[in-house]
Amino acid sequence: MFAAAALALLATLALTLLRAARGPSVFDRLLATNTVGTCAVLLLAVIGFLTGRPEFLDLALVYGLLNVIGTVAVLKFFRQGALGDPGNGNGNGAAR
Amino acid sequence: METLIVNVLLTLMMLAVVVLARTRNLFAVIVLSGLYSFLMATAMVALDAVDVAMTEAAVGAGISTVLLLGALHLCRSEEAKPAHKPWLPLAVTASAGLLLVYGTWDLPAFSDPEAPIHKHVAPRYLADGPRETGVPNVVTAVLASYRGFDTLGETTVVFTAGAGIIALLRRRRRTTADKEAP
């Protein structure tokens, strides 16, 4: 059962990597990376139960939080063109 | 099953590296390197190196994505065409990789308890660690007491790297004196 889930997750990872490689727009790649993070969380849980030691589920929580941080950083960069600006309000955009 | 998972993950990482090397858009490169880090961290978990996996996920996918985006703001978003043909560096890298693969042939099997590294100083740390250092946790005793200077050096390196990155990425705030000067 867990082995089938792990195989399905690996297939999903391969397809997601294909989208990240082919992806015409940057947003395809961003979404692919986000999906890889989600797959990593799921694969972590599945590996834990596959080996009979689900003690490392806490690590999956850390991965989930990191995924959010990365995506928020990328989107903020796109919105404002920089990170850590003093915030003077003129969004000058990243598409330079 | 675990071997299969690790092998598939390593193959995907190899493909990701090839895509990374061929991509010219630096923003896509940053996003793809975050993807690579997540694959790497999952492979580390499958190999039972949970602490290394956590570091890889936090540093590779978390902090370095943010830092590289901050650096991208300061430079152009397309990688320039290289001026030289890549054949000589490629040959050097490939031969170094072949040497490393040749070196792995003599390694003991994965998680072999009879490997020499587990026979050298580890038994003494386990037997005498609590008495010699007074620290109940063996990992903490090794890191903070037996390899104390090593850990101090690592901390210094990390601090220097952080200070350098802050100095590079800090933007000068325009003060009134700057506006009046020109």
pLDDT-derived band at B166, boundaries 50, 70, 90? confident
In a domain, B180, yes or no: no
| Residue B49 tokens, joined | 């190196």
Residues B44-57 have a mean pLDDT of: 85
Above 0.85 for ipTM, yes or no? Answer: no
How many residues in total does chain B contain?
182
Is B139 in CB contact (< 8 Å) with chain A? no
Is B8 in CB contact (< 8 Å) with chain A? yes
Regarding whether B3 and B73 lie in a shared domain, the answer is: yes
Residue B33 belongs to what domain range? 1-78
Q: What is the pLDDT of residue A88?
A: 47
Number of domains chain A contains: 1
Q: What is the pLDDT of residue B10?
A: 92
Regarding whether B140 and B71 lie in a shared domain, the answer is: no
In a domain, A57, yes or no: yes
Query: What are B98-115's pLDDT values in tens digits?
Result: 999 999 988 888 777 888
Tell me chain B's radius of gyration from C-alpha atoms.
22
In a domain, A55, yes or no: yes
Regarding whether B48 and B4 lie in a shared domain, the answer is: yes
Whether residue B32 and residue A29 make contact (CB cut-off 8 A), yes or no, is yes
Number of domains chain B contains: 2
In a domain, A58, yes or no: yes
Q: What is the pLDDT of residue A52?
A: 82
Residue A43 belongs to what domain range? 2-80
In a domain, B102, yes or no: no
Cβ contacts of A59 on chain B, cutoff 8 Å = 45, 50, 53-54
Residues A79-83 have a mean pLDDT of: 69
Q: Using an 8 Å Cβ cutoff, are B42 and B9 in contact? A: yes
Q: Flag whether pLDDT at B35 surpasses 60.
A: yes
Q: What is the pLDDT of residue A82?
A: 62
Residues B1-26 have a mean pLDDT of: 88
Q: In this predicted model, which residue has the larger pLDDT, B131 or B111?
A: B131
In a domain, A24, yes or no: yes
pLDDT-derived band at B153, boundaries 50, 70, 90? very high
Q: What is the pLDDT of residue A89?
A: 45
Torsion of Cα atoms, B63 then A48 then B17 then B75, to 10°:
-10
In a domain, A95, yes or no: no
DSSP structural state of residue A51 = T
Query: What are A17-42's pLDDT values in tens digits?
Result: 888 888 788 788 888 888 888 888 89
Q: Flag whether pLDDT at A90 surpasses 50.
A: no
